Amino acid sequence: MANRRNFIKTSAFAAVAAVTNIPESKASSPKSKSSVVKPIVVSTWKFGIKANEAAWEILKNKGKALDAVEAGVMVPENSLLERSVGLGGRPDRDGHVTLDACIMDELSNIGAVACLEYIKHPISVARAVMEKTPHVMLVGEGALQFALSQGFPKETGVVEESQNEWKEWLKTSNYKPVVNIENHDTIGMIAMDARGNLSGACTTSGMAYKMHGRVGDSPIIGAGLYVDNEIGASTATGHGEEVIRIAGSHLVVELMRQGRTPEMACKEAVERVVKLMKIRNKDLKDIQVGFIALNKNGEHGAYCVQTGFNYAVHDNEGNRLLDANSHVK
């Protein structure tokens, strides 16, 4: 019976692949329950390895994906040595560290904060927005007031090293984001728990020396993060303006809905970024965009514009860092 069910599922899938013109080898096919890889957590960049460990502690004990992704991304948020996430991050051009974060669960509950200052764990404030307010996003001073009202402590502003770097930068004041800064950037994390439920979280200090008030893709549901519990999840890193332009993470999930494997979906989204750069006469070498994706089979994939983007995967086989394929070879 199980085989017959699988056969029917697979045949139905082949029909979808034919209609949508996806070569079957590149398409993701539904798997039988027992072959689904879960639990699993996938996150951006090398610091994803440590973050995955914290998430795994929850996932391996049959905890919820939502709790896992929050705990996972809190690891880099907590480290003042990280220059691209949390309060250790580089400031904006006026010297303020402003943080962006969002979170999404298997029921499409969402919460986000943008341009939040002085708070160590913006992801937890985003979760509080999701769980304790009638809204989905709070920004700036309002987000800070809300965080303080929820008992989040107010921390000091910029760490000394970031401040010194910023003072150096002020000498030229040239906004020119560096591709793959120190090889790590925003942390985006997506996970499927033992029950097969998906959730995601994304948190960053954003582009260094951005204009004060600038918000990137990372706190924007559909751009920096998207989860559809029937299909899969995706999150982004890199130049947020380019990710927002294509509603990147939502696009990746929709491409998986149409049958693409996670890597194929990320690749098509990256190709769209590349195409728009060309149409708009912009130099591709100045930008990096990377996507990671996870589907309901527990299959994962990634793709990026420039080489150098990697992502961390933790399942029952262990925790490892993988290099993403890139458009520019």
Tokens for 95, please give them. 């010297």
Give yes or no for a contact between 301 and 309, defined as CB atoms under 8 angstroms apart: no
Residue count, binding to ligand SD4 (CB under 6 A): 12
What's the closest the beta carbon of residue 98 comes to ligand SD4, in angstroms?
Answer: 10
User: Which one, of 314, 263, 321, 313, lies nearest residue 290 by Cα?
Assistant: 263
Residue 206 exposure: Cα atoms within 13 Å on the Cβ side: 30
Of the residues 217, 228, 299, 315, which one makes contact with ligand SD4 according to CB under 6 A: 217
Query: Which positions ≥6 away from 130 have C-beta within 8 Å?
Result: 103, 105, 109, 110, 111, 136
Q: One symbol per residue from 225 to 254: x for binding ligand SD4 (CB under 6 A), - otherwise; what is it? A: ------------xxxx--------------
What's the closest the beta carbon of residue 186 comes to ligand SD4, in angstroms?
Answer: 3
Give yes or no for a contact between 217 and 101, defined as CB atoms under 8 angstroms apart: no
Amino acid at 39: P
Catalytically annotated residue among 10, 133, 156, 186: 186
Query: Which positions ≥6 away from 296 have C-beta within 8 Å?
Result: 30, 36, 192, 196, 198, 230, 231, 232
Of the residues 28, 52, 186, 295, which one makes contact with ligand SD4 according to CB under 6 A: 186
Give yes or no for a contact between 206 and 216, defined as CB atoms under 8 angstroms apart: yes
Of the residues 39, 76, 88, 206, which one makes contact with ligand SD4 according to CB under 6 A: 206
Which of 48, 216 has the CB closer to ligand SD4? 216
Which of 45, 56 has the CB closer to ligand SD4? 45
**Residue 186 falls in the annotated catalytic set:** yes
| Using rule CB under 6 A, residue 297 touches ligand SD4 | no
> Could you list the residues that contact ligand SD4 (CB under 6 A)?
185-186, 204, 206-207, 216-218, 237-240
Catalogue the active-site residues: 186
